[in-house]
Amino acid sequence: MDTDSNTPGWFIAGDGAIGMALGCLLQQQGASVRLISRVAKPTPAMMSCRFTGGETVEWTCPVMSEPDGTSIDRLIVATKAYAVSDVMDRWGSSLAPGARVFFLQNGLNLDSDRQPPPSTQPLIVVNSGFAAFRDEPNHVVQTAGEAVWVGDGSARSEASDPNVRNDIACLDAAGFHVRWTPDIIARRWLKIAVNSVINPLTVIHDCVNGMLLEQPEAVRMIRDLCDESGRILAAMEVSFSAEEIHSETLRVIEATAPNRSSMLQDHRRGDGRHELDYINLPLIRMGTAHGIEVEEHQLVYDRARRMLATCEPAGGQSPA
């Protein structure tokens, strides 16, 4: 495993909470890290992270907003789903042949034709256990550090490329506990099913995740949405049952009880960008395509859409 700062470094697109926490963890392991920001920022940036153990680390890191000719071997895309196409448009041509590109988004864009260049290796990360929030512009607090899943969509029991295995070992040693799985596509659908309940319901009820369990209407909707998701996933031959989706949803709500979901944060930020069409819409589309009734999901989608529309620019947003 390389932790040597002389080896090709890590580029992290997205200087939000997860991007900053990951950058700090990797740099502490001796890796060279550069943050990629959408907008130009003073560089190097001075930041701090408080980790679950209670330790606070001050760190500095170069920040780039435009490619400078450096060839990228390892890129972590830690942006919201709606920003991925911008990252690919701007940085795709800087990716070296064979570059590993780790995608950490909630949800999925069924319409996207923007992929990393074919010579690179896209890796899907399903984050079911690492959480952080930003309480000040350059200060991040990590709130959970459990295992997360990574895979390339193949049924292989481990990554075939030793570079990918090395990357996974580096991330794990740094404290981002990635585990390879041949079931990454199914795990992504499970996470979509869970997020498609928690995220819009926290917008509709304007509450932190844990409060959902204190509202009878939300408790009923959680059950009905999970049952419907179970039918959709069964039609897609994805192996998680309605019961498993329901118990995973309750587990995540309890584990993240004080969190404001990312969609509620999008709603409160009010800049017109949110992930409803990347989380809820794919399930609705899959259900419809397989002839499954999606009444509950459609109702929740429509209610949340109306509420999120109050923060959208005229004309709405489309999955980019």
Binding residues for ligand PAF, per CB under 6 A?
106, 195, 198-199, 209, 252, 256, 259, 261-262
User: What are the beta bridge partners of residue 35?
Assistant: 12, 63
Tell the smallest beta-carbon distance from residue 146 to ligand PAF (Å): 11
Q: Which is nearer to ligand PAF, 256 or 298 (CB)?
A: 256
The CB-nearest residue to ligand PAF is 262
CB 171 within 8 A of CB 178: yes
Half-sphere exposure of 218 (CA within 13 A, CB side): 23
Q: Which is nearer to ligand PAF, 17 or 88 (CB)?
A: 17
Tell the smallest beta-carbon distance from residue 300 to ligand PAF (Å): 14
SS3 44: coil
SS3 250: helix
Tell the smallest beta-carbon distance from residue 106 to ligand PAF (Å): 5
Tell the smallest beta-carbon distance from residue 9 to ligand PAF (Å): 28
Tell the smallest beta-carbon distance from residue 197 to ligand PAF (Å): 9
CB 223 within 8 A of CB 191: no
Q: Which is nearer to ligand PAF, 123 or 132 (CB)?
A: 132
Q: How would you class 65 by CB atoms within 10 Å of its CB: exposed for 0-12, middle for 13-18, buried for 19 or more?
A: middle
Q: Which is nearer to ligand PAF, 121 or 199 (CB)?
A: 199
- Cis amide prior to 44 (ω within 30 degrees): yes
Q: Which is nearer to ligand PAF, 242 or 252 (CB)?
A: 252
- Alpha carbon separation from 224 to 71, 93, 244, 266, 296 (Å, rounded): 48, 45, 13, 25, 7
| H helical segments located in the chain | 17-28, 84-91, 162-174, 184-204, 216-235, 242-255, 262-269, 276-289, 295-309
Q: Which is nearer to ligand PAF, 29 or 143 (CB)?
A: 143
Tell the smallest beta-carbon distance from residue 270 to ligand PAF (Å): 17
